[in-house]
Amino acid sequence: MFKQLADPARRSFSVFIDGAEVSARDGETVAAVILRAPPHIARHTPVKETPRAPFCLMGVCFDCLATVDGETSVQTCLVEVQPGMKIERPVGKLRITL
């Protein structure tokens, strides 16, 4: 049996997911923090708007894409969370402007 131990050396701080303040800790990925934040999904697909959650957690798939600090299409499983980060989950159908 595995038991997760709290590490007091890991600093706790806030990030913002879709405008809501969420607690995070040093060493966590953005995807891990997204999974804790209701509604516990990373994004909606751009065509059918199906909810998706991070799948591979190692950068092979693209189910964890989000906008992080203004940069779009970030694979959040590959990015370590930083204090004050602004994370936006994509919602709605993909719209292309010409």
**pLDDT tens-digit series, residues 32-81:** 999 988 888 888 887 888 888 888 889 998 888 899 999 988 999 999 99
Does residue 93 lie within any of the structural domains?
no
Does residue 2 lie within any of the structural domains?
no
Examine the pLDDT at 9 and tell me if it is beyond 90: no
49 neighbors 60 (Cβ within 8 angstroms): no
The count of structural domains within the chain is 1
pTM for the model stands at 0.81
CA distance 51 to 89: 11
The pLDDT of 12-38, averaged and rounded, is: 95
Closest CA to 84 of 32, 41, 30, 36: 30
Does residue 52 lie within any of the structural domains?
yes
Q: What is the CATH number of the domain that holds 59?
A: 3.10.20.440
Does residue 3 lie within any of the structural domains?
no
What's the confidence (pLDDT) of residue 68?
A: 96
Token duo for residue 36:
């804790």
**Which range marks the domain in which residue 51 is found?**
12-88
Does residue 48 lie within any of the structural domains?
yes
Does residue 58 lie within any of the structural domains?
yes
Examine the pLDDT at 1 and tell me if it is beyond 60: no
- The band of 23, judged by pLDDT with boundaries at 50, 70 and 90, is very high
